[in-house]
Each structure stands twice: as structure tokens, then as C-alpha cells.
């Protein structure tokens, strides 16, 4: 696979995934500053997952002989007004990433790059989970509507999240 459009799109995706890690790191910092350690843990794990996603694209591009070009990672939003706002932004960002991966899939189909198409399947499945996870927490935050006791219950739940390294077929 040496299609320039595909290589460029995967390079862009490496940047987007590292930006995701950066964005979620800002969210982790916000929750740490509020002493909501469970929420901070949730985003700590999310940052690690995004790094895995980025390196998955990076490794895949290396493996197929495409040139990796690292570009500047833009500054993320660093100030947030509430936990609900954070999860609204996180869900919106995951929807953006899903669309971006769909676009990669569209390119691979157009150019009949079956190898990349198979590689992208893992990400497509992963995005269902990513949106679901963000959406689930967002719905709970809407339900408690700023109630302190409810917030601490969600915080305890999110403290349980554990990082499991991603094994991405085709990227190891
Ligand atoms: Fe949060 O998603 Fe990466 O790919």
C-alpha cells in the first residue's frame, strides 16, 4: 500500500489520536484540581488508550512502508465549566474521531486497499465502545443534575476503571 492519499490520511489520524490523549489529559487535570479522583482516573486510563490508538496507526504505517510524518499537536481546551460539559465535549470528540475513521475506511474502499480495510475494522468496533462509554457517564451526569452525593457516587464508580493495553491486529 503506497497510495499517497491513504498514507496522508493515516498520518493525520496519528495526530488526531495524540490530540485525543492531550485533550483527555486536560480533562484529567480539571478533575484532579476538583479532587474528583475517580473522574481523573477515568481520563488517565483514556489518555493511555488514546496513546495506544495513536501508536497503532503509527506502527501500521511503518509496517506497510508508508512514511510517518509527525506534525504539531494543537492546544486543547484547558478550562471547563462543569463535569457535564467535559463529557459533552468528550462525546462530541469521539463522534468526530468515529467520522474520521469512517473517512479512512471510505478511502481504503475507494482504492481497494483491502489490508488497510481489515486493519481499520478494530478501530470501527472500538469507536462503538468509546462513544458508548462517554455517553453513559454523560447520561448519569444529566440524571443527577449537579447533585453532590450523585457526583461522588459516579466518582467512586469511575475510580474502578483499569487500563488494559490495546492489542490492535496488524499494528504489532
Ligand atoms: Fe477515543 O478513540 Fe481513539 O481511536
The tens-digit pLDDT sequence of the chain (172 residues) is 569 999 999 999 999 999 999 999 999 999 999 999 999 999 999 999 999 999 999 999 999 999 899 999 999 999 999 999 999 999 999 999 999 999 999 999 999 999 999 999 999 999 999 999 999 999 999 999 999 999 999 999 999 999 999 999 999 7
Residue 9 covered by a domain: yes
Does 7 sit in the ligand 1 pocket, CB within 6 Å? no
Give the CATH number, domain containing residue 83.
1.20.1260.10
DSSP 35: T
CA dist., res. 52 & res. 87, Å (int): 21
Q: Treating both helix axes as pointing N-terminal to C-terminal, what angle do 148-158 and 37-63 enclose, rounded to 10 degrees?
A: 40
Q: 150 CA to middle of ligand 1, Å? A: 28
Q: 30 CA to middle of ligand 1, Å? A: 20
Residue 48 covered by a domain: yes
Identify the domain containing residue 75 by its residue range: 4-158
Residue 168 covered by a domain: no
Q: Please tell me the pTM assigned to this model.
A: 0.96
Residue 138 covered by a domain: yes
Residue 167 covered by a domain: no
- Split into its structural domains, the chain has a count of 1
Residue 64 covered by a domain: yes
Does 113 sit in the ligand 1 pocket, CB within 6 Å? no
Amino acid at each position: 500500500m503506497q497510495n499517497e492519499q491513504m498514507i496522508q490520511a493515516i498520518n493525520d489520524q496519528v495526530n488526531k489520536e495524540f490530540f485525543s490523549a492531550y485533550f483527555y489529559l486536560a480533562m484529567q487535570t480539571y478533575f484532579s484540581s476538583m479532587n474528583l479522583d475517580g473522574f481523573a482516573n477515568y481520563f488517565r486510563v483514556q489518555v493511555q488508550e488514546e496513546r495506544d490508538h495513536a501508536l497503532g496507526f503509527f506502527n501500521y504505517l511503518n509496517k506497510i512502508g508508508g512514511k510517518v510524518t509527525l506534525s504539531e499537536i494543537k492546544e486543547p481546551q484547558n478550562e471547563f465549566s462543569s463535569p457535564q460539559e467535559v463529557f459533552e465535549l468528550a462525546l462530541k470528540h469521539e463522534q468526530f474521531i468515529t467520522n474520521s475513521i469512517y473517512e479512512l475506511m471510505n478511502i481504503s474502499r475507494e482504492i481497494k486497499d483491502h489490508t488497510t480495510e481489515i486493519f481499520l475494522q478494530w478501530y470501527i468496533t472500538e469507536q462503538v465502545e468509546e462513544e458508548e462509554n462517554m455517553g453513559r457517564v454523560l447520561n448519569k451526569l444529566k440524571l443527577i443534575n449537579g447533585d453532590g452525593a450523585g457526583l461522588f457516587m459516579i466518582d467512586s464508580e469511575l475510580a474502578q476503571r483499569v487500563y488494559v493495553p490495546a492489542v490492535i491486529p496488524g499494528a504489532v
